[in-house]
Amino acid sequence: MARAAVVGAVAVVVAVAAALALVLLLVVNDDAPAPAPHMLNRSERKSGTVELDTTRPHPMRLPAYYSTMDETMTEVRRLATTCPPLVVDSLPLTGDDPLVVLRLHDADLASSLPPRAAPMDRSCYTQGRANKDAGLDALPTVLITAGLHPREVFATELALGLVRWLCAAYDQASAMDAAEAWSVQYMLARMELVVIPLANPSGRRVVEETDACARTSAAGIDLNRNWVFRHGKGEPNEAAGNKPLSAEETRVLFDYMSVLTKDPERNVGLFVDIHSGVTEVYIPYDSASDVLPRSKRAMCLYEVVDTFATLGCGACARGSAGVIGNELVFGTAADTMFVTLGVSVVLTVDAFGAPDKSDCFLRFNPDDEAKYHSIVAHWLDAFDFAFWDVLESSQGTSKRAAAAYYYDFVDSSLAWGSNLRMAALSAAATRRPSNWYLRSRERSEHSSGAAAKEPSPPSPPPTISNAAHFETVESQHTSWLAFTSSSIQT
């Protein structure tokens, strides 16, 4: 019996030692490439989705109407020299490629405009904790990220298309008419847009050079599972990292966004994270199967996501990610921005998906040029709505008010009260960027055989006058979502 006891004790010691060795191995190597580097996203767990072919890794070959990573950076440098409101920040990373941040705000025009209208009392975009320290005159700010998953190249394309649209308002050779350009310039004078089009540069290099199906960073971490809120509660093979923000990219992004959301001079009211793989729009939570508790903030989210999705993708699914996304995911950018940093309105946009395709390019990125441009055009309409909704709900500044100002002080050729002026105001209030985008595509195709032209000089800022009358006109066009206050918790 003594011998049996000794043998049993030795077995226990060996088992404990093996367990400790395994734990040590996991801790040391957790940030190494995961055993399943092509993890399924929530769209791929849906019924009827074809399994991705990851058996033969190969570089992703992009059609000519897409931009490679290097071409994207070249385009950013071009826009930086031709687009007056654009400021490019570079957040250094260990590798050769930094995180590039594009900030758009027309400070020159803003200094010429009269003071902004008083903020609305019940703004959708001032409900989160991030807005509590913001002053009443804080600059409305929107954060947009794309490319956390590098095989989703179309997400970066859409983000860059968004910046091109805004910058076209400052190019006299663009297909944008004067009133349309003024509307965009006015919008950028009243708010700031912060766009991070390529949030995973190391992973994008892997996609273009080695493995078209790569979903993680070059270090093997899924950058949309490595954030703070409810990190590490998912499946072991999700490559979430051994702790929150263990990936350099997410740590740098989180630090940068923390500074913005805590800045009392800014009101960061909207965050949008762009993906592809399915066509849906989500609101929080990614990590819970319950819908948001009834509150002003929740009602705002449902109102915003419904209109945003209708404009961007028609009848596509929209709602709480944990409810319609077919699985719970943890440590996401969206949940962290919503809960940890307290941004009022958070959307995750899955802009395109082909679940019947096993090829990684075809699954996540439209392969037909006409379809590509049509999808971009519709999502531009959705973002246009969101930007103006931020301004209208937080400042009482509408697109129609901007048009009224234009026809009062910039182009006064239309008589006050005339049918032509009223028609112009109505047209301006309902004009969508998709019309400009498709016009610009037609112009580009028509002139594709012509020699390239030098960029046109930026449009000069208009002369501002009669500020008191402008404030009256602007206040006449304020509106807000109708809430039944008695049925909504504060």
Residues 356-395 pLDDT 10s: 999 999 999 999 999 999 999 999 999 999 999 999 887 7
Q: What is the pLDDT of residues 317-344, one digit of tens each?
A: 999 888 887 788 999 999 999 999 999 9
Q: Residue 477: is it exposed, middle or buried by C-beta count within 10 angstroms (0-12/13-18/19+)?
A: buried
Walk across the sheet containing 317-320 and list its strands.
86-91, 99-104, 192-196, 139-146, 266-275, 345-352, 278-283, 317-320
Residues 6+ apart with CB under 8 A from 32: 219, 220
* pLDDT for position 422: 83
**Which residue from 102, 391, 136 is spatially nearest to 269, judged by alpha carbons?**
391
User: Which of these, 184, 178, 6, 190, lies nearest to 83 by C-alpha position?
Assistant: 184
The boundaries of the domain holding residue 351 are: 73-400
Assess if residue 200 is contained within a domain.
Answer: yes
Tally of CB atoms within 10 A around 451: 5
Tell me, yes or no, whether 353 lies in a domain: yes
3-state class of 404 per DSSP? helix
pLDDT in tens, 273-295: 999 999 999 999 999 887 787 88
Calpha distance 32→259 (Å, rounded):
29
Determine the pLDDT at residue 114.
79
Higher pLDDT, 81 or 412: 81
pLDDT value of residue 464: 32
Strand partners, 319: 282
Residue 489 lies in a domain: no
> Structurally, how many domains does the chain consist of?
1
Does the residue 430 lie in any domain? no
Q: Which tokens sit at 484?
A: 């039944």
β partners of residue 146: 274
CA gap 199, 253 in Å, rounded? 8
Which of 75-84, 248-257, 316-325, 398-407 is least confident? 398-407
DSSP 407: I
Residue 454 lies in a domain: no
Choose the weakest-confidence range: 5-9, 30-34, 201-205, 238-242: 30-34
Cα gap 488→304, rounded to integer Å:
17
Least confident range from 112-126, 217-231, 256-270: namely: 112-126
Give dist(CA 188, CA 193) in Å, integer: 8
DSSP codes joined into one string, 218-284: TTS--TTSSSSTTTT-S-GGG---SSTT-SHHHHHHHHHHHHHHT-TTEEEEEEEEEE-SEEEEEES
Residue 262 lies in a domain: yes
345-352 and 99-104: which strand pairing? unpaired
pLDDT value at position 140? 93
Q: Considering Cα of 215, then 219, then 220, then 221, what sign does the dihedral take?
A: negative
Q: Residue 23 has what pLDDT?
A: 39
- Residues in Cβ contact with 355 at an 8 Å cutoff, skipping those fewer than 6 apart: 43, 44, 46, 48, 49, 50, 278, 363
Q: Give the pLDDT confidence score for residue 45 in this predicted structure.
A: 52
What is the token pair recorded at 447?
Answer: 């002139």
Question: What are the pLDDT digits (tens) for 17-59?
Answer: 544 444 343 333 444 334 344 555 555 555 567 888 888 899 9
In a domain, 44, yes or no: no
Q: Which of 176, 118, 218 is nearest to 434 (CA)?
A: 176
| Residue 10 included in any domain | no
State the number of CA atoms in the 13 A half-sphere of 95 facing the CB. Answer: 16
What is the predicted pLDDT for the residue at 89?
96
- Give pTM, 2 decimals: 0.82
What is the CATH number for 319? Answer: 3.40.630.10
Averaged confidence pLDDT in the chain: 81
CA distances from 364 to 64, 75, 229 (A): 17, 22, 26
**Cβ neighbours around 19 below 10 Å, total:** 10
